[in-house]
Chains A and B, each alone.
Chain A
Amino acid sequence: MQHDATLKVDNLTVDLLTSKTAVRPVDGVSYSVRKGECLAIVGESGSGKTVMNFAPLGLMPAGVSTELSGSVKFNGRELIGLEDGELRHIRGKSIGFIFQDPMSALNPVRRIGRQIAEMAELHLGLSPSAAEARALELIKLVGIPDPEARLRQYPHELSGGLRQRVVIAIALAGEPKLLIADEPTTALDVTVQAQILRLLKDLRKRLDMAMILITHDMGVVASSADDIVVMYAARAVERGPVEEVLTQPRHPYTRALINAIPKSSDTVGTRFRGLSGMPPILGAPNPGCAFAPRCDLAVAECRHTRPLMSQATHSTVRFACPIANTESEIHGTGTCS
């Protein structure tokens, strides 16, 4: 089951070192995604979900040195340890990227047609005119009306939703096997969000791609993803099929996260059920469970021993909380509240 994974990440740890600071935004995370499937990675801001996907592919800002350990296999090929020159051939060609803010992700002074076509020139070896034709095809594929005119326009002449479609067209131009979408709908308004998600789902099925969807929106997860990884403070806390994790969250953090979503049964004036406390600072090493200070179930042991991911009883879900795991064994089910 795991050997045919498009992307298989094992025990990935990322350290970011600047001249003054060192942080570990990703700490021993494992997951995988198969062809045609969508994996959602959720977690709050700063939980490491973006770095986890960008760092192994060399997409980190200049001036930060990145140290990686563990294994990231793309179609069986190990990415960790590759030179940037080799990673470049994978970026864009085999793996496409969609970014959070389409307003700034496109170059403001270059025509949209060129920004799509250069991908086809670079990765498919097309001539400039053939690449333009390919750009036109792609722009039709992502459902942009009046495609010929759009190719000659500049990004500022398009709405946010259309720009995000252009970003998607760019990501698809190299005919990738894997699409990594970093909060693709966060900067868009709600009606456009739904359109973009539908488009992504449709394209994934049609082009038989694997997709990683980085988000903090549980609604997006429920409608789009097959599997889910929940991140907290650089670590994965729970991983499994979406329908199980969302309906029967096992890890205390996942439970609190899902419990925090406002329900239609809430009476008017009900306070938001947020999590008390603050997420930990990543610079300080933590020998125990990172969630322990905010956890209702925490015992003294939680602060000293790091909980490992282990399989839940009667389920394919894996999560990192021995306390909740034994508890569910006693009660026979993983449901909470």
Chain B
Amino acid sequence: MLRYTGNRLQQSVVLLFLASVVCFTLVVSSPGNVAVLIAELRGMIGSPGYVEQIEQEIGLNKPLLIRYADWLGNVIQGDFGISYRTGHDVNADIMNRITVTGMLVAGGAVVATVASLVLGFIGAFWPGGITDRAVRGFALVGASTPTFFVGALVIFMFAVILNLVPAVGFNGLKSWILPWITVAVLPAAVLSRVVRVGLEEAMASPYVLTAKSKGLSRFRIMFRDALPNITPIYINALGTQIGLMTAAAIIVEPLFAWQGMGDYFLNGVRFRDFMVVQACLLLFLTFFIVVNLVVDLTVMATDPRIRRQRSGA
């Protein structure tokens, strides 16, 4: 088990390095000259030589490899640089915003997990029934509705018509509910199918026949015998969905006027503030890689067949 963990950690470090290369390459190859934009922002676009001066100032005239090495060296030391647009320290901005996004993704993940387990279980428990069909309908609609539309819909329903919760803002549980629901609908839909299909498959397996022959109730068999057997596939799917939620944050945060990483990234892109864009991209990718690592280690820890094999070797 230790050896496996070590291998996975190594892989993750390599992946992180590749991710940094991708981040940097994508940003430097995007069109537009940052120096011109900065000159515009400072109202000095007309003055001759000013653009060159800025290029000198922020190191745009250096060779690409040197620029990459400078950036990576700073990033490794935890310094993401300074926003060209606002002049703010990117680190400080991120520290302010990362909790907002963390709140969104964590809350969304909890909602999606609970909803998908309950819905999938209900569907599998009464297969072909009205609840099963309703759950399947939700899964189909939920998986094919764009997140911004879901967001608009829930705002309209719960904030405008029913007036239960505030439409926008980030203060207290009440204001978090709608963003959580918005970000959780798609993952909940996808994951409820994973649970529903997985349980149906597991319930047809020979060990379930054994459990039936023991005289156990159907609920208990599904809960205690079938459900633990779909844990690996469920955790895998959940990891992917949590990773994708960071992408959804880019849409959901502006919708609810949350100032999180998604919002930050979007602003960065809009103004070609590439220190911000690079930082956000790298953090998103890091999050993906870490989630995947956690998923693999959790799956290993929950499946005795894998856990014992690795420790025995």
A-side residues, CB < 8 A to B, are 58-59, 61-63, 88-93, 96-97, 99, 101, 104-110, 118-119, 122-123, 154, 156-157, 167, 170-171, 174
Contacts and interface: CB of A to CB of B under 8 A. Distances in A.
B49 interface: no
Contact of A105 (B206, B224, B231, B302): B206
A63 B303 CA distance: 29
A173 to B, nearest CB: 8
Given A91-B215, A92-B215, A123-B215, 15 more contacts: A58-B212, A88-B217, A104-B207, A105-B210, A106-B207, A106-B210, A107-B229, A108-B207, A108-B229, A108-B304, A109-B231, A122-B214, A122-B216, A156-B304, A156-B308
Contacts of B304: 108-109, 154, 156
B205 interface: yes
17 contacts: A58-B212, A88-B215, A89-B215, A91-B212, A91-B214, A92-B213, A97-B213, A104-B205, A105-B206, A107-B229, A108-B229, A109-B231, A109-B304, A110-B228, A118-B216, A154-B305, A156-B304
Contacts, number: 81
Contact of B127 (A62, A104, A119): A62
B296 interface: no
Nearest to B128: A63
Nearest to A106: B207
A157 B231 CA distance: 20
A224 to B, nearest CB: 21
Nearest to A87: B215
Contacts of B303: 109
Contact of B225 (A63, A99, A107, A122): A107
Nearest to B231: A109
Contact of B209 (A88, A99, A122, A123): A99
A164 B280 CA distance: 56
Contacts of B203: 62
Interface in B261-286: none
Q: Closest 5 interchain pairs by CB?
A: A92-B215, A97-B213, A104-B206, A91-B215, A92-B214
Interface string B191-229: 000000000000111110111111111000000110011
Contacts of A157: 308
A167 B210 contact: yes
B205 to A, nearest CB: 7
Contacts of A104: 205-207
Contacts of B213: 59, 91-92, 96-97, 99, 171
Given A106-B210, A157-B308, A174-B215, A62 B204 contact: yes
Nearest to A96: B213
A122 B210 contact: no
Contacts of B206: 99, 101, 104-105
Most A Cβ at <10 Å: residue of B213, B302, B304: B213
B304 to A, nearest CB: 4
Contact of B210 (A58, A62, A90, A99): A99
Given A62-B127, A154-B308, A107 B207 contact: yes
Interface string B278-313: 000000000000000000000000111100100000
Contacts of A174: 214-215
Most B Cβ at <10 Å: residue of A91, A93, A101: A91
B210 A170 contact: yes
Most B Cβ at <10 Å: residue of A59, A61, A99, A105: A105
A104 B209 CA distance: 10
Contacts of A170: 210, 214
Nearest to A116: B214
A107 B212 contact: no
Contact of A107 (B211, B215, B231, B302): B211
A107 B213 CA distance: 13
